[in-house]
Every structure is written in C-alpha cells, then in structure tokens.
Structure 1
Amino acid sequence: MSLLADDFAYLRQRVLRRSGLVLEPDMHALVETRLMSLLREERLPDISALVARLRSQPESSPLHQRLAEALANHETAFFRDAPVFDALRSTVLPALLAKRSRTRTLRIWCAACAYGQEPYSIAMTLAEAGLLITGWTVRILATDFSTRALVRASEARYDAQEIHRGLTPELRQRYFHPERDGWRLNEQVRRPVELRPLNLMDDFPPEAPVDLVFLRNVMIYWDVPTRRAVLARVRRMLHADGYLVLGAAEASPLVEDGFTRHLIGQTSWYRPTPAPHASASAPVEDAPRPPRSGARP
C-alpha cells in the first residue's frame, strides 16, 4: 500500500517537531524506504499501522524517537570536505593555540556527529599536530540526537567501505588496528572524544564555552526558523573569539544571527560578530602556523 496523504502529513509534523527535519511533498518514496526496517522491527504490515501505533503513544515514547532516527540522514565520512580540514590545520587551529597558550585548553563541539567519523577526524588532526601528547587539555564533545548512532560511534569500529572513505592509508595504519570484520580506532584518538545525546531542537544544557563548533550538513534539512533558533543557541555556547563551520551546501548565517563570515582557503568559517564597543581581534589569516608532523589527511 502506498503512503496515504494523511499518514504522510502526520509523519511530517511529528518529525519536524522531533528533529527539525523538513519532509518535502515529493519525499513519499524516501519515507517508505527508510521506514521499512522500523516496520519489520515493530512487526507491522504497513505505514498506516505504524501511524496508528504512533498516535496511541505519547510524543516522548521510544517509538517516536525511533521514527525520527529512521528518517534522519546519517551520511558521513572521515575528513569529509577536505578543504575544511586543510583550513583547520593551517589557520584555525594555529590561531586558537596562540589564543589559548596560557590555559592550554581546547574545547571543540561536533554537533550531529552521526557514527563518529567527523569527531574522530578532528581528533586525528589534533594528534597529527601533537596536541594529544603535549600537555594540552583537549576535549571534543560529540553529540547526536540518535542514541543508535552514538552507540556505533562509541564502538569506533568501521567496515572496509567506511575506512576507505576519506582516510589515507597512512592514517589508517597509524591510528587504526584490524579487528573482526573491520578496523577499530585506537585509544589515543578516542580518549578526548566525549559522546553525548543532544537534540538540537531542545535548549542546550549549561556548558562551558567552546572554541570551535562543527555544525555541518544538518541545517540543510531545516526550515529558516529552526536554523535561526539553533544558531542563536550555538552562538551562546561559542567563545567570543571562537569559530563555527557549516556544511558547504548550507545557507550562510545572516548578519542578524550574530556571525561574521571569514574565507579561509576554500572554505567559509564564521565568528561571533563583536559588539560595537569591543575591540577587533587580529585577523585569522595572520595567525602563526606550527610545524606539521606526520601524514596529511
């Protein structure tokens, strides 16, 4: 049975409230495909039966969470969009190290981390710079609304297809070891990554300010009010001299969102717009660059 209009409208409303995902009118086939596994798990004959069961349960129920997770896009890869990591290595990281030389503390937030490839790519970049063994306190907070995705990320185990997407043989040999039917990331790189469930639709819990936020390839699925609300919450968590990076296909924050765009290499990075009375910080392009070590991802 094809997806009924009323059922699609209900699913569209539930998912928008739960995850911010906007299901466009032409996504019927995609919804049907992504819900097949949930139908099998629930032993239901069709989506109408699933909708009936969802209607009988509160929005806070596990089934509503599993619905949102089933329809979410968890596509990710190691070092996805290589120019972002080039800019991180060459400009953003040196600038932050210069500014944090007194505290020797670096805090990074990777939002919507999916199966962990992005936060672990960040950790490998820091390891290549020697930051995981030189007395710096490094914390990478990796969050996702999907508990199933976080379980996979915590295992840090990837199959042959995943390990070859974006990862050089040198980095694979340096930071992974063969295990069962795949490869597992070593403890040195996993240690600074703290995995935590967080729904970006909710108010964020109190947290110490972070220096760098990766919020990539998630806002493309949201409407404008949702994007602006999340950006406002992100800005409150970001140091005044910190950085935000988005996905290449995502709309730039508006001036009224409180961010200023900086072009670094081939990528756009965003910094909190200083208050009118605040003194301008040194341009990021003038930051010193530390020597590189090891392979280039």
Structure 2
Amino acid sequence: METSEASHQIIADLLAARTGQQLTESRRWRVNSALAGVFREHGISNVDQLVCLLATPEAEHGGPDLSQEVVEALLNNETYFFRDKPTFDQLPQDILPELARRRADTKRLSIWSAGCSTGQEIYSLAMLFAEQAERWRGWTIELLGTDVSHRAIDAARSGLYSQFEVQRGLGVTQMLRHFDETPQGWQIRSETRRLAHFRQHNMLGPHPGRQPFDLVLCRNVLLYFDRMTRATAFDRLANALTPDGFLMLGAGETTVGQTERFRPSARRASFFEPLCAADEMRRLRFG
C-alpha cells in the first residue's frame, strides 16, 4: 500500500517541529523501515495508519509519547569512535594544545558535542584526556554531550556498546584500556566515563551550559536543516562559543556561504572560528 503524500507531510512536519530537521525527498525512502519498530509496537502497518493513530485522543491509543517515538525512530544516530580520523587527529595534534596555551591562566576547558548521538564522540575526547592524564593534571575539563533524542542520551549515559560499535574506530589497545567486556557488551571504564556528561537538548534552543564553550563539535547535524534553520543553528553555536574558541564541523560541511558568524580556521580542515564584531566591521570596510 502506497502512503499518501499528506501522511508523509504530517510526519515531516512533526520531525521539523520537534528537531528542526527536514524530511527531504532523498530521506523519505527510509521512512517505512525506520518506523518498522513503531508499527510493530502499535499493531499497525503503514504511515497512513500511524497518522490516524497520532490524531486519536492519547488516552485511547498510543499514549503521550507516541509522537516522540516517531521522531526518535526517524533520527539518524550514525556515529562511531574517532569518526573521520584525519579530522579528529587535529584535536590532540593542534586544537587542544592551542586551547591549552590560551587557557594557561585558568586551566579550564569546556567542550560541547552538539548532536552527540549515542556518545562515541564525547567518549573519544574523554579517552584523549585520559591518555594524557599527566599533561592535563590540575586542569578542569568539562565534556558535555547533548542530543535531541532521549533514547540516544540514555545509551550514551550507559557507556555500554556492542562488539561492532567498539570495533568501529578503536584499536585493540584502546578497547582493552578503556573498556571492560561484560555479558551485556563492552562497558566503558569509570575513570574514562566520569569525564563525560550528557543531557537531552535541542541545539536550536537555549545555551546548554553555564558558561561559553572553548570548543564545540557539531558534525553531520546541520546537513538535515534547511537554510534558514541552519543559519539559526550557526547563531546558537556562535553564541555558545568563547570569542577565541573553535567550531568543528563534519568533513563535508562548511560555514562559507552559510553564515557570517564564523570564518574558516587557517590551515585547519573542518575547523572554524567565531567572527567577532571587530572582525566583521573590518571585513565590511576593507573587503
């Protein structure tokens, strides 16, 4: 049975309203497979029936969390440890040493992973700091991962991963150093896990921290926004960063032509720096 265009649009509107993400034509082919678990849970077989269920009074069908179930099922939680290694390697080789120099007086670093999914990105950072414990002794390191998905955040907080998940991006030495094998899977060890904190948060909303961040990672999230929503997201990211901080995007993402709040960081692929008011005035004056 072919799903009606109206039903697809209702689901697309729900996703956009909750997350800002667009259910473009190129993503619609996977809607039925993504929602298969929701269909089974509620005894239905297609999107038209799901839309009818969403319109039914909550007390009778589905419960108040059905719409959230739908949104969570449609989110792309693709991630893995040390994703895009050539890009990620710039952190210990360049970005973190540079931030350490800039924060030598306060000895405090605050890092935010926006759209952290199931936590591999933040835990990759935690491993870097754990492996350089002597270098960072006496520092306050704050690692925050946020995601719009409650399910993803619950998985991140558990720190428990399958054999397949730990093998994506991790060498055997790292697996044995930072994880314990358990009957349930690979559990990240407490000394590494305690460095990371997670919370459910929509990056289009208010600042998720108590103070500006020195480094923000927002990789392969903005791809799912339309141009206007992406501009709003860049504003939120710029407002969340210190004036001399860094934004890290995915390998195929850029701020060029998307926003005037950032400029590419010289010789640093996928890294961008906030364009402060003085820089912007200079750019407008001299071109």
What TM-score do you get using the length of structure 2 for normalisation?
0.90
Instruction: State the secondary structure of the residue aligned to 1:13.
Output: helix
Q: Alpha carbon RMSD of aligned pairs, Å?
A: 2.2
Matched, 1:25 2:17: no
1:106/1:137 contact within 8 Å kept: yes
**In 2, Cα distance between the equivalents of 1:221 and 1:70?**
15
Once the two structures are overlaid, the 10-residue window that deviates more, 9-18 or 44-53, is 44-53
Instruction: State the secondary structure of the residue aligned to 1:149.
Output: helix
Instruction: State the secondary structure of the residue aligned to 1:276.
Output: helix
Matched, 1:137 2:132: no
Matched, 1:272 2:267: no
1:201 corresponds to which of 201, 204, 216: 204
**In 2, Cα distance between the equivalents of 1:27 and 1:147?**
22
**In 1, Cα distance between the equivalents of 2:253 and 2:40?**
34
Q: Which runs of 5+ in 1 are unaligned?
A: 281-297
1:3/1:32 contact within 8 Å kept: no
Residue aligning to 1:287: none
**In 2, Cα distance between the equivalents of 1:255 and 1:3?**
34
Identical amino acids, percent of aligned pairs: 34
2:87/2:251 contact within 8 Å kept: no
**In 2, Cα distance between the equivalents of 1:132 and 1:221?**
38
Which structure carries more relative contact order (alpha carbon 8 Å, separation 6+)?
A: 1
Residue aligning to 1:120: 123
What TM-score do you get using the length of structure 1 for normalisation?
0.87
Pick closer, same or farther for the CA change 1:206–1:109 going to 2, 3 Å: closer
Pick closer, same or farther for the CA change 1:255–1:216 going to 2, 3 Å: closer
Instruction: State the secondary structure of the residue aligned to 2:110.
Output: strand
The AA in structure 2 aligned to 1:3 is T
Residue aligning to 2:74: 71
Matched, 1:37 2:37: yes
Deviations 1:215-237 (A, max 9, x none): 00111111111111011011111
Residue aligning to 2:153: 150
CA drift at 1:136: 1.1
Matched, 1:170 2:173: yes
Pick closer, same or farther for the CA change 1:110–1:57 going to 2, 3 Å: farther
**In 2, Cα distance between the equivalents of 1:113 and 1:88?**
17
Deviations 1:94-142 (A, max 9, x none): 0111111111111000111111100000111122222696121111111
Matched, 1:7 2:1: no
CA drift at 1:181: 4.1
Matched, 1:262 2:265: yes
The AA in structure 2 aligned to 1:192 is L
Deviations 1:150-180 (A, max 9, x none): 1111111111111110001111111111111
**In 2, Cα distance between the equivalents of 1:44 and 1:131?**
56
Matched, 1:105 2:112: no
Residue aligning to 1:96: 99
Q: Which runs of 5+ in 2 are unaligned?
A: 283-287
